[in-house]
């Protein structure tokens, strides 16, 4: 166990990592067992790193039950580069891509896709500050669309899909950056899933892309090499130097997840943690949850107080009390508690106790 003092880290990402993982990284940082060099120094072509990469992929496959129909890629450039790579690879000439505009990150994905080809915004809740998800009956889907793009968890607004939208035979693409592996995921219902690692999977620097193999046929040879999924798939994510440390740390987090009992166990823990926070938010009306109750995220819990003055005070006092990172995204204000997989339940209890006391004094 770490002997240093750690505060409660509610950051939306990069975010809290499991302490046993940090301990292992620290222990092995000078020399990986049996290697005699650190992960920061070894060649990505070494047998040691090949094993680390293969194990990270294997753990991901085990956790999510991913079949051999899918490739698992480790890329760079963040989820933001996927906003562009998805349409560059999958939006074939003459076709239209459908996008569900359900949050600020979805809006950014749409902006990039429009640079590549025809985009149909199938539904948007922007006019409601993205406080809810579009309902199935609101979706105006294009028959024969190249794909439908969704965002499984809206990090800024604190909403999340409980069930996938129905899109028929059209390939479903999902940005799962902020709730990847926080609950079971039916990969077989997706054509492509992408997620930056820095919330639920590891440190910043690596983006996981899970892509159904038939999709790779759409990647044109004329694409820039580094922008081509097929190239990365053919080269086992080793076309160029991969982010070795990030992949290594991600692999350790995946093993930790398996040790915790896998995705069902994570879902149970996450429901319990979020339930405590929403329970406190709803208790008296002093706090106001900003997301529609039916669409509430288990990862990013967004709430407000009656005035901005009171919110400022809340942030100031909670920070002083060792509850870090509760300030909402600058675009929406208020508070946001991000409670990803590795966020400990004691931290949620500490925040709930702080909220009760804050209300007692200020309410």
Q: Which range touches ligand PMP (CB under 6 A), out of 74-82, 120-128, 255-263, 337-345?
A: 74-82
Give all strands of the β-sheet with 335-338 in edge-to-edge order: 288-289, 300-304, 335-338
**CB of 198 vs ligand PMP, minimal distance in Å:** 6
Give residues 231-290 in contact with ligand PMP (rule: CB under 6 A): none
Q: Report the 10 Å Cβ neighbour count for 361.
A: 9
Where do the DSSP E strands lie in 137-292?
147-151, 153-154, 159-160, 172-175, 192-196, 207-212, 288-289
The reply on whether position 161 binds ligand PMP by CB under 6 A is: no
Q: Which range touches ligand PMP (CB under 6 A), out of 28-36, 174-182, 305-313, 335-343?
A: 174-182
Instruction: Enumerate residues 6+ apart whose C-beta is below 8 A from 290.
Output: 129, 131, 157, 158, 302, 303, 304, 332, 334
Give residues 292-311 in contact with ligand PMP (rule: CB under 6 A): none
Comparing C-alpha atoms, which of 355, 261, 256 is closest to residue 314? 355
Q: Which range touches ligand PMP (CB under 6 A), out of 14-22, 73-81, 129-137, 163-171?
A: 73-81
**CB of 171 vs ligand PMP, minimal distance in Å:** 19
Which of 245, 354 has the CB closer to ligand PMP?
Answer: 245
Dihedral angle, C-alpha 331, 336, 339, 344, nearest 10 ° = 140
Pick from 20, 78, 262, 333: which binds ligand PMP (CB under 6 A)?
A: 78
Instruction: Enumerate residues 6+ apart whose C-beta is below 8 A from 85.
Output: 75, 77, 227, 229
**CB of 272 vs ligand PMP, minimal distance in Å:** 23
Which of 89, 154 has the CB closer to ligand PMP?
Answer: 154
**CB of 226 vs ligand PMP, minimal distance in Å:** 16
Q: Which range touches ligand PMP (CB under 6 A), out of 72-80, 165-173, 218-226, 254-262?
A: 72-80
Please give the C-alpha separations between residue 251 and each of 42, 56, 60, 279, in angstroms, as whole numbers.
16, 4, 8, 34
**CB of 324 vs ligand PMP, minimal distance in Å:** 17
Mind telling me the catalytic residues? 105, 175, 199
Query: Using CB atoms, what's the residue nearest to ligand PMP?
Result: 78
CA distance 108 to 196: 15
Q: Strand pairing of 335-338 and 300-304?
A: antiparallel
Q: Is the peptide bond before 14 cis (omega within 30 degrees of 0)?
A: yes
CA distance 91 to 84: 10
Which of 105, 340 has the CB closer to ligand PMP?
Answer: 105
Which of 221, 330 has the CB closer to ligand PMP?
Answer: 330
Pick from 9, 155, 290, 341: which binds ligand PMP (CB under 6 A)?
A: 155
**CB of 197 vs ligand PMP, minimal distance in Å:** 8
Give residues 85-124 in contact with ligand PMP (rule: CB under 6 A): 105
The reply on whether position 151 binds ligand PMP by CB under 6 A is: yes
Pick from 174, 178, 200, 302: which binds ligand PMP (CB under 6 A)?
A: 178
Q: Which range touches ligand PMP (CB under 6 A), out of 38-46, 114-122, 173-181, 222-230?
A: 173-181
Question: Residue 54 carries which DSSP code?
Answer: H
Q: Where are the alpha helices (DSSP H) in the chain?
A: 19-27, 47-64, 78-90, 104-114, 229-234, 244-259, 262-284, 308-320, 345-362
The reply on whether position 341 binds ligand PMP by CB under 6 A is: no
Size of the site for ligand PMP (CB under 6 A): 11
SS3 355: helix
Dihedral angle, C-alpha 112, 114, 118, 124, nearest 10 ° = 90
The reply on whether position 196 binds ligand PMP by CB under 6 A is: yes
**Binding site residues, ligand PMP, CB under 6 A:** 13, 78-80, 105, 151, 155, 175, 177-178, 196
């Amino acid at each position: 166990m770490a002997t240093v003092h750690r505060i409660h880290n509610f950051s939306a990402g990069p975010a809290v990592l499991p302490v046993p993982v940090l301990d292992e990284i620290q222990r092995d940082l000078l020399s990986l067992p049996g290697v005699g060099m650190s992960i920061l120094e070894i060649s990505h072509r070494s047998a040691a790193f090949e094993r680390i990469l293969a194990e990270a992929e294997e753990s991901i496959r085990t956790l999510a039950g991913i079949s051999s129909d899918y490739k698992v890629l480790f890329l760079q450039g963040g989820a933001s580069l996927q906003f562009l790579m998805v349409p560059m690879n999958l939006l074939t000439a003459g076709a239209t891509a459908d996008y569900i505009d359900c949050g600020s990150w979805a809006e950014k994905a749409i902006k990039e896709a429009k640079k590549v080809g025809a985009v149909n915004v199938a539904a948007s809740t922007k006019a409601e500050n993205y406080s809810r998800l579009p309902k199935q009956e609101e979706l105006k889907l294009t028959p024969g669309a190249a794909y439908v793009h969704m965002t499984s968890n809206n990090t800024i607004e604190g909403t999340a899909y409980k069930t996938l939208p129905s899109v028929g035979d059209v390939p479903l693409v999902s940005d799962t950056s902020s709730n990847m592996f926080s609950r079971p995921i039916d990969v077989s219902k997706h054509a492509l899933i992408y997620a930056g690692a820095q919330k639920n999977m590891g440190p910043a620097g690596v983006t996981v892309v899970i892509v159904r193999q038939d999709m790779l046929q759409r990647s044109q040879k004329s694409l820039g090499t580094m922008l081509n999924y097929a190239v990365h798939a053919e080269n086992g994510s080793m076309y160029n130097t991969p982010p070795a440390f990030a992949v290594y740390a991600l692999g350790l987090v995946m093993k930790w997840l398996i040790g915790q009992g896998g995705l069902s166990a994570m879902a149970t823990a996450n429901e319990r943690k979020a339930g405590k926070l929403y329970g406190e938010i709803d208790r008296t009306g002093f706090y106001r949850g900003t997301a529609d109750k039916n669409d509430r995220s288990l990862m990013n819990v967004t709430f407000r107080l009656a005035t901005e003055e009171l919110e400022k005070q809340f942030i100031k006092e909670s920070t002083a009390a060792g509850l870090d990172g509760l300030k909402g995204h600058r675009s929406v204000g208020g508070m946001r508690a991000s409670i990803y997989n590795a966020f400990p339940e004691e931290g949620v209890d500490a925040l709930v106790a702080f909220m009760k006391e804050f209300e007692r004094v200020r309410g």
